[in-house]
Chains A and B, each alone.
Chain A
Amino acid sequence: MRDMRPPKTESTAEAVAVPVRSRLSLRRIEARHVRDYGIIAVTAVVFIALSLASSAFFSVGNLFNILYQNAPLAIMACATTLVVVAGNFDLSVGAMYAVAAISAAEMAVRLGPLAGILFGIVVGGFTGLINGLVVTRLRVNAFLATLATSLAFRGFAIAVTNGFLVEVRDPGFTGLGRDKIGPVPVSVIIAVVVILILQFVLSRTVFGRYIYAVGGNPGAASISGVRVSTIVLATFVIGGFAAGLAGVIDASSVASGDAQGGQAFALTAVAAVALGGTSIYGGIGSVWRTCIGVALFALITNGFNLLGVNPYYQDIAKGLLIIFAVALGAMVERREGR
């Protein structure tokens, strides 16, 4: 009997006897479009502006340079997206990165470059597993859990190395971070592959769907047959592997493992996730969005450097951007009256 509804019309003035719901034009730009796509527009504008403002910016060399410098961050931030979409938080990426870096370097010195690289990545995954277990088994809030483990991980890294750099000169080890295939750095290729895999996993697989469901409403997900803690655990492990990979790539490119490395990443990774528009409450977000968040940060850093702006202003600009992006999202929520 719903079919008896009369055809839609745009005029409602005369439609009194038979109420008609008029369709809105979907073409109008609404606040939520700004929230969902504004970040892309901002990134594009910054890109164009930098191209105009600095002749050095828009060159193959510089663009590859940006990609090269940000490949480790992009890998970590994209993996952290899975953790955040599942409704958790990971503040320990920088520490996992450092543990992986020194593990790789120590092992490379002893057993050779390949063993070092693999060991570093596995250690990263193991630290992620620890995070996941603390969150799912001990039921510690992820924010506090990863804050605590990041202290412990970094302390461990410093204790093992006594705070010294672990140098590895073997070209088999440094190749990962320094070699190029044609003009493209190997690490950039690895990052692109990892990002594509993560994007695919989150958006297309059953596992990815479970991640959204767990972040959206763990109770409903559980009743629908999803094993919530297994999913959460898996996201932390993935985050750990990614941080491990990033740490190894960086150790390789500087030919040493540094227990103090990656300090800045702890917050930048999560910030890039939020800047991209992934909800820190879970259930909403995507990997490609995080890539845009990373790209915007990267452009600001690079552009400000090229233009010779004081680095302090970079951080101010980044901080303001995050606030702006998150506040915009909140405003749209309110306007839509939820």
Chain B
Amino acid sequence: MDGVAGPIVEFRGIVKNYPGTRALDGVSMEITHGSVHGLVGANGAGKSTLGKVLGGATRPDDGRMFVEGRPVKFSGSRDALQHGIARVAQELALVPRLNVMQNVFLGVEPKRRGLVLRRKMRQLYDDLVGEYGFALSPYLEVGRMRLADQQKVEILRAVNRKARLIIMDEPTSSLTKDEVITLHEMIRHLNGKGTTVIYVSHFLDEVLAIADTVTVMRNGQVVRTSKATEETPASLVGGMFGCEAATECFDEKSAVTVETVVLEATDLCREKVVRNVSLAIRSGEIVGLAGLVGSGRSEVARAICGVDAIDGGTIKVDGVEQNFRFPRDAFRAGVAFVPESRKQDGLCMQLSLRENTTLPHLWSGIVSRAGVVQIRSERSKVESLLKSLSVEPPRPELTVESLSGGNQQKVVFGKCLFRQPRVLILDEPTRGVDVDSRANIHRLIQGLARQGVAILLISSDIEEVLGLSHRVLVMRGGEVVREFPADPSMGDVMNACFGLATSERECET
């Protein structure tokens, strides 16, 4: 540690305008050397934008920025990196065709005379993983990895840059509890070596656990900066929304009264990732699927929805056997799917909210007649849906890429609600969504269940699974290993996830 007293970064009056919005409206704050600085705020508060400004990904329209007292103007991420600032983006930015190691060393490959030293690189990679954790196999192609693993690659890449300051924009949005713990150990380790970390998250407990200082943002401005010990989740929420909003609490679960099974999957198999999975969901029932990342949860969802082909097994909807060869077949049978990666599978970023929302429903004739889209009725229907989801701003004609991450997620969720499905498969439905909107989405999910929709819920946030589900299935190694009735204790579920004593950490291939 340099032992410098002053702040490592200081913002003074930073302004960033986007067409129609002021994302940052005079932000002034200091980041103390060697601290973990939490950054919280509702969806669209400007957290990512501030991170992009500091990381050199975008230029502020006004205001000044100092790094160790010296004024800086970054022309790009490379420039910021040269000043020792690295960023883990919220919407991950890896090269999908390259493998883990190549991504981690992208641009900083060990070289001699222009040739990459592969063996040296491998050794450095092993050292890196050995020192910080996240043991990912170096030769996996990143584009084929699950979101959580991609997130870990991003983190490793930032750490490997030997940056003095790392901005982590929602690094844990798709990580499970155990991985969050690994990440926090990593942060403390970095911190011990003098690295400063800016930690953006909607998991307020997590922020308070890891951060020394917390800044609350609202509407592009700083509400306050205080010591983490002086804040509670409730006080942060108060600052974020400007009033006492409810913190996490779940409505009482509705009883499942009907016995009719809506979705029934029997002996589903897919390569080695899904092994003889059987499950049945009744009308109005929410079934949670718990498990570590890599346990096959998402794969089950994708197999049911016809995204990935199955090698064996049957799927019945309302008692009728189905053969879903494409997602389209599933959609038409009333099975709607919220995929986990909004950037990869969820949204067409350059299309408008309106076009994205109705995309899966154009065939059904709600907003089209004789193959022609009824744009006016489409617009008004989408607008009311966006409002009920508290998408901010609820303007159907905006492009999705101009929304903040959490608001994009609400649109992905909205796509499935535009027309009520029979079966709803949710893979991380609230990834990156703020506390208030999360509670809103939870109410919507429960409302759907009350109307008789059969729901399969996957989430890396175990509280979400336990809080909503009528039954919890635990998966490990591609199999359903246990079933719990409503409201099991978190300890029991976690133990089942890990499989008693032997903790099968994934990624050992």
Contact = CB atoms under 8 A, between A and B. Distances in A.
Interface of A: 1-2, 4-5, 12, 15, 18-24, 26, 30, 32, 204-210, 212-213, 216-217, 219-227, 279, 283-284, 335-338
Given A283-B351, A336-B18, 4 more contacts: A12-B25, A206-B372, A220-B344, A221-B359
Given A19-B219, A206-B373, A226-B359, A26 B344 contact: no
A217 B347 contact: yes
Interface SS of B by simple majority: mixed
Nearest to B326: A227
7 contacts: A22-B25, A30-B19, A213-B359, A219-B345, A221-B359, A223-B345, A283-B351
A225 to B, nearest CB: 4
A221 B348 CA distance: 8
A225 B371 CA distance: 16
Contact of B22 (A24, A207, A225, A336): A24
Contacts of B332: 225
Given A12-B26, A21-B21, A213-B359, A222 B326 contact: yes
Given A213-B355, A217-B348, A283-B351, A225 B331 contact: yes
B350 A216 contact: yes
B21 A227 contact: no
Q: Which of A4, A19, A216, A225 has the most CB of B within 10 A?
A: A225
B160 interface: no
A284 B218 CA distance: 33
Interface stretch (B172-180, B206-214, B239-247): B239-247
Contacts of B305: 223
Interface SS of A by simple majority: loop
B359 A21 contact: no
A205 B372 contact: yes
Interface string B66-107: 000000000000000000000000000000000000000000
A21 B42 CA distance: 14
A225 B401 contact: no
A212 B327 contact: no
Contact of B348 (A1, A23, A220, A336): A220
Contacts, number: 130
Given A24-B20, A206-B368, A213 B348 contact: yes
Contact of A19 (B25, B337, B401): B25
Nearest to A15: B221
A1 B245 contact: yes
Contacts of B415: 224
Q: Which 8 A-B pairs have the closest CB atoms?
A: A337-B58, A216-B348, A19-B221, A225-B328, A225-B331, A21-B219, A224-B360, A224-B359
A144 B415 CA distance: 36
Contacts of A15: 221
B256 interface: no
B348 A223 contact: no
Contact of A209 (B59, B241, B307, B373): B373
Interface in B406-423: 415
A224 B373 contact: no
B17 A24 contact: yes
B25 A213 contact: no
A21 B25 contact: yes
Nearest to B218: A19
Contacts of B351: 212-213, 216, 283
Contact of B327 (A204, A225, A335): A225
Contact of A1 (B243, B345, B347, B359): B243
Interface in B153-181: none
B348 A20 contact: no
A336 B390 CA distance: 25
Interface string B455-480: 00000000000000000000000000
Contacts of B245: 1
